[in-house]
Amino acid sequence: MAAITLTRLTKVYADGTVAVQDLSLTVAEGEFLVLVGPSGCGKTSVLRCVAGLESPTSGSIEIGGRVVNHLPPQDRDLAMVFQTFALYPHMTVFDNLAFGLKMRRLPKNELRQRVGWVAAKLGLEEHLHKKPRQLSGGEQQRVALGRALVRQPQAFLMDEPLSNLDAALRVKMRGEIMKLQRELGVTVLYVTHDQTEALTMGDRVAVLHQGRLQQVAPARELYEHPATRFVAGFVGSPAMNFLRARLRQGSEGLILEFASQKVSLPEDVLDGHPGLKEHADQELIVGLRPEHLQPQSETPTAPDTIFLRGDVDLVETTGPVNHVHLSMPEAETPEGDTPAPLLASLPADRSVEPRQTLELTTDLQHLHFFDPETGQAL
Amino acid sequence: MKRQNILIYTALALFIAVNFFPFFWTFLSSLKPATRMFAYDPPLWPRAFSWENYRAIFTERNFQVNILNSLIVAGGASFFCVALGALAAYALARLAFRGKTLLLGGILVISLFPPVALVSPLFLFFRKLGLINTYQALILSYLTFALPLTIWLLTAFFRQVPWELEDAARLDGAGTWQVFWHVSLPLAAPGVFTAAILTFIYCWNEFLFALAFTTNDQSRTIPVAIVMFSGYHTTPWGQILAAVTVVTVPVALMVLLLQRRIISGLTAGALKG
C-alpha cells in the first residue's frame, strides 16, 4: 500500500476544456478518500490522470513517494474499478480475476491460490467457471472488486462503482466495500457524484467544483463547517437554504439584518465566525439547514432565536419528517429575488397544510455565513 | 396463424427447391455414365450410377493438385488478409490522427478498381519479379482486393469494443500488444471470422487473376483448371460437373458450420448489443 500525492495537478483537454485546475491533494496510506462533486466537475479526470489513462497538463502525481507522471498505466501498479465494471466478457470469472496476475507472470500455483483467496473473500467460488453475462449486477460488481483486490496493488481507484446497481444493492455493497477496506487497510481513491455515498464511506471527503478543490475534510466537518457556499449547498440532504442578509455596525456590536428582523450577534457567534467583523456594513449570505428549523413553540424563546415566517407551498412526506417548502415574502434570495424559497424539515407529527402561514424558529448558532462575492465561509 | 405457417413453409420449400435444383442436377449428372449424360427426357433419378468421372479427374487430370493450389492460395490470402486487416483496423478504430476519414475513403476506393484494368499491369509486374506461376502472385493480388473490405468490416468491430475494457486491461498490467491480443481481438472475433470466410470464398472462386498469372497445369487453381478441362473438340461435361461438386462441398460445409458466426458478423452494428 502507498500514499497518492497530487501536486498542483491541472488537466486541460485538447478542446480547451479545463477539467482540473491546480489540485493538490494527498490520499494517505490506508486512507479511504472520496472525491465528490456534481457531474462534469473533473473528478473522473483526476482519477484517469492518477491511473495514467490521461496525462496531466501540468503538476505531478506521486504514488508511494515516486513521481509517476511518465509511467504508462500498466507500470503504475494501481487497480481500478469502473462504473460499468468493465469485465472481460469473453473470459470466465476465474480468467477475469487472474488476468492481471497473468500479465505480471505470477507462477501458476500462486495465481490459483490468490484467485481462490479473493473468490472466497467475495463469495464467488461457485461462479468461477461462469461468464460475466451469466452473473447478476451485484455479482458482476464483486468480480470487478475481486479483480482489483487480487492484484494487491499500491492503491485502488474506484470510479462510481456503485452507480450501476439498484438502490438496495448499492447500500449493501457500500457496506461491503467499507468493511473490506478497513479489514485490508488499503489506500482507496473513490470518485462519486452521490454525496450520501461520499459522507458515509470516506475517511475524508474532497469536494470538487468546476475543477477546483473546495474542501477536504472528514464528513462531520464538511457538514458542520463547510468552507464555501458550494460545499454548504452540496453536502447535506435536503440542501441548505440561502438568504441575503446585511451586517450593520451598531453601537453595541454587529447587527444582522435579514428577513425583516434585526438580531445583534453575540460574542460566541462572532468568535465562531472570525470573518464577520471584516464584513461590517456589507451584504452577506446566510445559510440555514432545513433540519435546524423548528416550528415556533408557545413557550418563551431563548434570546439567540431567529424567527422566520413563510407561506407553505408544498409538503413532502418522507416518514419521520416532512419537507415543507415555503416562500418568505419578507426575505430575499442571494440573487435578490422576493419571495425567497425556504425548505424546512419538520417532525411529521406536526400537521402542516399548503397555503397556511407558518412561523419557524432557529438558533443563531446554526447559521452559516458566506461572502457573496467569493462564496467563502466567514 | 396456422394457415399462415403453412403458406410460409410452402413458399420456403418452393424457394429452396428452385435454388437447390441446379446443384442437385449437377451432382446427379456427375454420377451418370457418359452415355446417359445427354439422354433425351432424362429421369429425375438415374437408373445407373458411375464414379467414373470422379476417378478420371483425380487420376487422369491430377485435380488434387489444383485443389491444393486453391487451398494454399485462398488459405494464405485469408490469413494474411485478416492478420494485416486486423492491425490496420485496430489502428483506424483507436487512434485519432489527421486525415483518418480520407484514409478510410481511400481504402474503399481501391476496392472499386475494376480488376480487368489491373490484369495487364499486374502481369507485367509479376513477370518482372519472376512470380508468374507462384502462389505469391495470386496471394498478393487477392490481398489488394480483399483487404479493403476486411479493414472496413473490422474497423466497425473494433469500434464496438468499449474503451473501458481496454483501460481495465491496461491497468491490469497489459501493454498495447497484450490489450490487442487478449481483449480487443477476441471481442472482434465474429468480424475476424466473417472477414476470413468472405476472403476465402472470394479467392476460392476468383478466375481472372488466376487465369492470367498461371500458365501451367501444376500451378492452376480450381476455377481455371476446370475451364481447362475442355479440349479443342470436346468438353467433358461429366468431369466438369464432378469437379464442381467436389469443390463446392468444402465451402458449403464451412459456411454451414460457421454460419452463426457469419450472421452475427454481418449484422453487427445493426443493433446495439
pLDDT tens figures, B177-188: 999 999 999 888
Confidence (pLDDT) at A355: 85
Cell of B90: 485496430
Return the DSSP state at A56.
-
User: Any idea which residue has 492503491 for its cell?
Assistant: A155
Closest CA to A261 of A370, A367, A375: A367
pLDDT at B271: 41
B174 at A interface, C-beta within 8 A: yes
Instruction: Examine the pLDDT at B263 and tell me if it is beyond 70.
Output: no
Q: HSE of B36 in the Cβ direction (CA atoms, 13 Å)?
A: 17
Contact residues for B18 (Cβ-Cβ < 8 A; gap 6+): none
Specify the pTM: 0.81
User: Residue A339: how many CB atoms within 10 A of its CB?
Assistant: 16
Q: Do A89 and B187 touch (CB under 8 A)?
A: yes
B52-272 adopts what CATH topology? MetI-like fold (1.10.3720)
* Average pLDDT over chain B, rounded to an integer: 87
| A86 to B167: CB separation less than 8 angstroms, yes or no | yes
Q: Kindly tell me if the per-residue pLDDT of B269 is higher than 50.
A: no
Report residue B91's pLDDT band, with 50, 70 and 90 as the boundaries.
very high
Query: Measured between alpha carbons, how far is A141 from A86 in angstroms, rounded to an integer?
Result: 10
The pLDDT assigned to B1 comes to: 61
Report how far apart, in Å, the C-alpha atoms of A321 and of each of A294, A313, A347 are.
Answer: 12, 16, 5
Mutate to test the interface with B, among A50, A54, A63, A82 (most CBs of B within 10 A): A82
Q: What are the backbone dihedrals phi and psi of residue A310, each rounded to the nearest 5 degrees, phi first?
A: -155, 160
> How sure is the predictor about A155, in pLDDT bands with cuts at 50, 70 and 90?
very high
**What is the C-alpha separation between B147 and B143, in angstroms, rounded?**
6
Instruction: Enter the C-alpha cell of residue A48.
Output: 484517469
Cell of A28: 494517505
What's the half-sphere exposure (Cβ side, CA atoms, 13 Å) at A3? 9
- The closest alpha carbon to B260, from B190, B199, B201, B200, belongs to B190
Whether residue B35 is predicted with pLDDT greater than 80 in this model: the reply is no
B199 confidence band (pLDDT: 50, 70, 90): very high
For A319-338, give one letter per residue: b (16+ CB within 10 A) or e.
eebbbbbbebeebbbbeeee
Q: Are A324 and A343 in contact (CB under 8 A)?
A: yes
Per-residue cell: A185: 487497510
Chosen from A74, A82, A101, A106 to mutate, greatest number of chain B CBs within 10 A = A74
What local confidence, expressed as pLDDT, does residue A300 receive? 62
Q: How close A189 gets to chain B, by Cα (Å)? A: 15
Rg (CA), chain B: 23
> What does each C-alpha distance from B34 to A299, B27, B51, B173, B256 come to in angstroms?
120, 14, 11, 68, 32
**Digit-coded pLDDT (tens) for A136-147:** 888 999 999 999
Interface check B181 vs A, CB under 8 A: no
pLDDT above 70 as % of chain A? 98
A-chain residue closest to B176, CA distance: A74
Grid coordinates given for B161: 469494443
What is the SS3 assignment for chain B? CHHHHHHHHHHHHHHHHHHHHHHHHHHHHHCCCHHHCCCCCCCCCCCCCCCHHHHHHHHCCCHHHHHHHHHHHHHHHHHHHHHHHHHHHHHHHHCCCCCHHHHHHHHHHHHHCCHHHHHHHHHHHHHHCCCCCCHHHHHHHHHHHHHHHHHHHHHHHHHHCCHHHHHHHHHCCCCHHHHHHHHHHHHCHHHHHHHHHHHHHHHHHCCHHHHHHCCCHHHCCHHHHHHCCCCCCCCCHHHHHHHHHHHHHHHHHHHHHHHHHHHHHHCECCECC
The alpha-carbon radius of gyration of chain A (Å, integer) is 25
The bridge status of strand A188-192 relative to strand A155-159 is parallel
Distance from CA of B144 to the nearest CA of A (A): 32
Is A179 an 8 Å CB contact of chain B? Answer: no
Contact B209, B122 (CB under 8 A): yes
How far apart CA A154 and CA A79 sit, in angstroms, is 8
| pLDDT mean over A77-98 | 91
Which strands form A212-217's sheet, in the order they lie side by side?
A78-81, A155-159, A188-192, A32-36, A204-209, A212-217
Query: pLDDT digit string (tens) for A167-225?
Result: 888 888 899 899 989 988 899 999 999 888 999 999 999 999 998 999 999 999 999 99
Q: Least CB-CB distance to B167: which of A53, A89, A90?
A: A53
Walk across the sheet containing A241-250 and list its strands.
Answer: A261-264, A253-258, A241-250, A283-288, A368-370
Within an 8 Å CB–CB cutoff, is residue B164 touching chain A? yes
**Cα gap A261→B76, rounded to integer Å:** 90
pLDDT confidence bin for B264, thresholds 50/70/90:
low
pLDDT above 80: residue A30: yes
* Cis, peptide link before residue A339, omega less than 30° from 0: yes
- Asked if the model's pLDDT at residue B267 lies above 60, the reply is no
Q: Average pLDDT of A323-333?
A: 87
Helices (H), chain A: 43-51, 93-103, 108-122, 137-149, 167-184, 195-201, 219-224, 229-234, 267-272
Q: What is the DSSP string of A297-325?
A: PSSPPPTTEEEEEEEEEEEEE-SSEEEEE
pLDDT at A53: 92
CA–CA separation, A321 and A329 (whole Å)? 25
Nearby residues of A211 by Cβ (< 8 Å), 6 or more positions away: A11, A18, A19, A20, A21, A23, A41, A42, A45
Q: If 0-12 CB within 10 Å is exposed, 13-18 middle and 19+ buried, where does residue A46 land? A: buried
* Residues in A touching B189 (Cβ below 8 Å): 90
Per-domain residue ranges for chain B?
Answer: 52-272
Q: In what order do the strands lie in the sheet with A321-328?
A: A294-295, A357-363, A305-317, A321-328, A340-347
Share of residues in chain B with pLDDT > 90 (%): 42
**Among A96-105, A246-255, A298-307, B35-44, the range of highest mean pLDDT:** A96-105
Could you report the per-residue pLDDT of B6-15, keeping only the tens digit for each? 999 999 999 9
Separation of CA A216 from chain center:
10
Number of C-beta neighbours around residue A37 at 10 A: 27
CB pairs under 8 A between A and B: 63
Residues in chain B: 273
Other C-beta atoms lying within 10 Å of the C-beta of residue B104: 16
Give the cell for residue A182.
478497513
**Residue B189 near residue B180, CB atoms below 8 Å:** no
Looking at residue A50, the DSSP 8-state letter turns out to be H
Q: Is the pLDDT at A252 greater than 90, yes or no?
A: no
pLDDT of residue B87: 95
Strands A204-209 and A32-36, by their bridges, are parallel
Instruction: Give the integer Cα–Cα distance in Å for B73 and A207.
Output: 63
Give the strand pairing for A261-264 and A253-258: antiparallel
In terms of pLDDT, which residue wins out, A239 or A336? A239
Predicted complex: ipTM over 0.90: no
Residue in chain A closest to B173 (alpha carbons) equals A74
Contact A280, A339 (CB under 8 A): no
Cβ–Cβ gap A74/B175 under 8 Å: yes
Q: What would the grid cell of residue B130 be?
A: 519472376
Task: Compute the mean pLDDT over every residue in chain A, rounded to the nearest whole number.
Answer: 88
